[in-house]
Amino acid sequence: MTAVHPAWLPDDLLAPLGSRRVRVLGAGLLVETVRAEIRRAVALHGGQLVDDPGSADVVLAATDDDSADGVEEYVVSRSGGVTTVSGAGAGLLHGLFHLVRLGEAAFGPDRPTERHAPAYPLRMLDHWDNVDVHPVMGQVERGYSGGSIFYADGRVRADLSRVAEYGRLLAAVGINRVAINNVNVHRREARLLTDDLAGVARIADVLRPWGIGVHLSVSFNSPVLLGGLATADPLDPGVQEWWARTTARVYEAVPDFGGYVVKADSEGRPGPFAYGRDHADGANLLARAVAPFGGTVHWRAFVYDHRQDWRDRSTDRARAAYDHFVPLDGRFDDNVVLQVKHGPMDFQVREPLSPVLAAMPRTHLAVELQVTQEYTGQQRHVCYLGPAWSELLGFRLRGPGGATVAEDVGGVVAVSNVGDDRFWTGHPLAQANLYALGRMAWDPASDPATVLDEWIAMTFPGAAPGIGATLHRIMDGSWRTYEDYTAPLGVGFMVRPGHHYGPDVDGYEYTPWGTYHFADRDGVGVDRSVATGTGFAGQYPPHWAAVYGSVTRCPDELLLFFHHVPYTHVLRSGSTVIQHVYDTHVEGVEEVERMVAAWAGTEGAVPDDVFVEVRERLAEQLRSAREWRDQLCAYFFRKSGIPDAKGRVAVR
């Protein structure tokens, strides 16, 4: 069997720490994790775990009693030839991995004292893993990295050593919660809540030493499905009692259980609407069940009509989350977190921010990101998402001078891209997305290029000089390159229905899913203005409502999200819409060709298995990018009759 790739924690990386004399002070589960890490490092690299205060080069000191829920901050200092890290609970563990990241730099001349604390207590990954293999979606819904690391043969895996390794990788980037099953809770997965608690508890036991709490996705219909009740009505006392009882049993099995994740009234999932109740009623039902135990309910705002009539141009999916949830602001219990996808649609390569993120001041909000590359190349394409996340977390939704999205929310939740694949993420370079997600959830102001530097240094320690520059060359701009050769100017989708890979311009155009581009012989785009369109632009605070509502002020990259314009419309860039489509698709493919050439130069400089895997995936990326280019250009030439002014695009 091929060994699992060590991702950003290869043994070599531990050399600076592992070759020293290290003292660990304190007791408790997380301090024991730190001690075990040091033991592993010194065994590999010839250092020593010491007790004697006088002889240590490094001191890791727990500052108070150890609890997984403790404060996560840590302090690093160096003086008199000794590097000291102190922190409480998980803080010490984060401090340990800070030392690992610093490498030799942690042991240079005296360093000024640094204090590090996460921006949020909530930094979570949602796994869309099914226990069973789903006939259409496979085991991991929208997963591109093999099967689930949690489940095999219809139950929680007997051997969870891979999950322990995962916990270690996540702890090293600062993730502290994991939801272990798909938000689409099918019958078998629903039973985790009642019939498989021993399995859930084993997963929690394996992740707890890494400071990671476990959450479950649950079906709103559980009282009926699992409890045999006649209703799941949130106001029914029997239903409330069922949730209270069931939840108490969960906490008996997992005392530090994080809580529930709920997708309700969304894409066919059951929810409170069936009983004439609203989503505050629904969320509070579960919130009250977990509240006595300190648990949280993550209620997803991804609620829209997926059975809409494409002939009806007034119904706009982009409006849905705001229309459903903003009127409920102030009604959610304190232990409810409303989990809001970053855009109003669905994790497209380019969307405006969801206006919900600035519209619910009396509700705890988390922004939901997608690390798994459903719409960004499915881990067959290189698409480093750090720059996209940086842009959206730093976006000032309330207008210039207002708070950033990162400041407006209380946490970051993201859909994991991990499976039982030997590289964890299918594409070896997609590991960088998981790394970046953790680092940016810890500090949303992180510079994505610096984060990528860190990832490169940790993943390829000792690689030939130049590898860093090549990886930056390939990855820094890869999100924009992907945008260039796929759906233009923010219009989104144009993917094959169902699996969502590859181009299909009209694939969703006459479907009930609400994802349209409205291309005709004269123009393309969705009029979401207040004046003449669906009114979605009016859901933004005044500054952005005015900008997005104006066809001349709207940023080019979002023009077709907000406006239906002629192909000859002149963009702010000076190009026309049709010429922009031709230019970006031709140039996007050329850029992928350059990525392929750059990667060829890394042969011998990165491990062979990584080299070969990335080379093969880049070949597929190039094939796919060409297909996107040819279909998009042909489609828009046929619609508009306007040829490429530069004569590069074949008239098909």
Nearer to ligand GCU, 306 or 626 (CB): 306
Position among 35, 98, 142, 157 found at the interface with ligand GCU (CB under 6 A): 142
Alpha-carbon distance of 384 to 436, in angstroms, equals 9
Alpha-carbon distance of 438 to 146, in angstroms, equals 21
Give the chain's count of helices (H) and strands (E): 20, 20
Interface with ligand GCU, residue 141, by CB under 6 A: yes
Nearer to ligand GCU, 302 or 325 (CB): 302
Alpha-carbon distance of 474 to 600, in angstroms, equals 11
Interface with ligand GCU, residue 342, by CB under 6 A: no
Interface with ligand GCU, residue 302, by CB under 6 A: yes
Closest distance between ligand GCU and the C-beta of residue 183, in Å?
Answer: 5
Binding mask 586-605 for ligand GCU (x = CB under 6 A): --------------------
Closest distance between ligand GCU and the C-beta of residue 414, in Å?
Answer: 11
Closest distance between ligand GCU and the C-beta of residue 263, in Å?
Answer: 5
Nearer to ligand GCU, 263 or 439 (CB): 263
Alpha-carbon distance of 295 to 218, in angstroms, equals 14
Alpha-carbon distance of 9 to 459, in angstroms, equals 7
Q: Which residues contact 556 (CB under 8 A, 6 or more apart)?
A: 489, 571, 572, 573, 580
Closest distance between ligand GCU and the C-beta of residue 344, in Å?
Answer: 13
Nearer to ligand GCU, 116 or 500 (CB): 500
Count residues binding ligand GCU (CB under 6 A).
Answer: 8
Interface with ligand GCU, residue 181, by CB under 6 A: no
Contact 514, 585 (CB under 8 A): no
- Active-site residue flag, 252: no
Strand spans (E) along 173-331 = 177-179, 213-217, 259-262, 296-300
Enumerate residues 358-397 that contact ligand GCU by CB under 6 A: 374
**If you ran DSSP here, which 8-state letter would residue 569 be given?**
P
Alpha-carbon distance of 347 to 341, in angstroms, equals 7
Interface with ligand GCU, residue 304, by CB under 6 A: no
Nearer to ligand GCU, 141 or 613 (CB): 141
204 vs 122, 208, 209, 257, CA distance in Å? 17, 6, 9, 8
How far apart, in Å, do the first and last CA atoms of the chain sit?
Answer: 48
Count of Cβ atoms closer than 10 Å to residue 269 Cβ: 18
Closest distance between ligand GCU and the C-beta of residue 611, in Å?
Answer: 32
Closest distance between ligand GCU and the C-beta of residue 485, in Å?
Answer: 21
Position among 50, 76, 171, 183 found at the interface with ligand GCU (CB under 6 A): 183
Contact 493, 348 (CB under 8 A): yes
Closest distance between ligand GCU and the C-beta of residue 141, in Å?
Answer: 5
Tokens 């999916």 -> residue: 317
Interface with ligand GCU, residue 417, by CB under 6 A: no
Nearer to ligand GCU, 78 or 263 (CB): 263
Bridge partner list, 134: 138
Token pair, residue 375, equals 């719409």
Token pair, residue 422, equals 């030997």
SS3 635: helix
Q: Spot the catalytic one: 189, 374, 583, 613.
A: 374
- Active-site residue flag, 57: no
Interface with ligand GCU, residue 145, by CB under 6 A: no
SS3 324: helix
Nearer to ligand GCU, 183 or 614 (CB): 183
C-alpha atoms less than 13 angstroms from C-alpha of 556 in its C-beta half-sphere: 16
On the 0-12 / 13-18 / 19+ scale of CB atoms within 10 A, 608 is exposed
Q: Spot the catalytic one: 346, 351, 484, 557.
A: 346
Nearer to ligand GCU, 340 or 474 (CB): 340
Nearer to ligand GCU, 210 or 322 (CB): 322
Closest distance between ligand GCU and the C-beta of residue 445, in Å?
Answer: 27
- Active-site residue flag, 69: no
Q: Spot the catalytic one: 267, 334, 603, 616.
A: 267
Token pair, residue 623, equals 């094939």
Closest distance between ligand GCU and the C-beta of residue 394, in Å?
Answer: 24
411 vs 125, 298, 403, 580, CA distance in Å? 11, 11, 15, 37
Interface with ligand GCU, residue 184, by CB under 6 A: yes
DSSP 364-419: EEEEEEE-S-TTTTTTTS----HHHHHHHHT--TT-TTS--HHHH-SEEEEE----
Interface with ligand GCU, residue 263, by CB under 6 A: yes
Position among 73, 346, 351, 644 found at the interface with ligand GCU (CB under 6 A): 346
Tokens 């605070």 -> residue: 541
Report helix angle 448-459 to 467-475, nearest 10.
130
Binding interface with ligand GCU (CB under 6 A) = 141-142, 183-184, 263, 302, 346, 374
Active site residues: 267, 346, 374
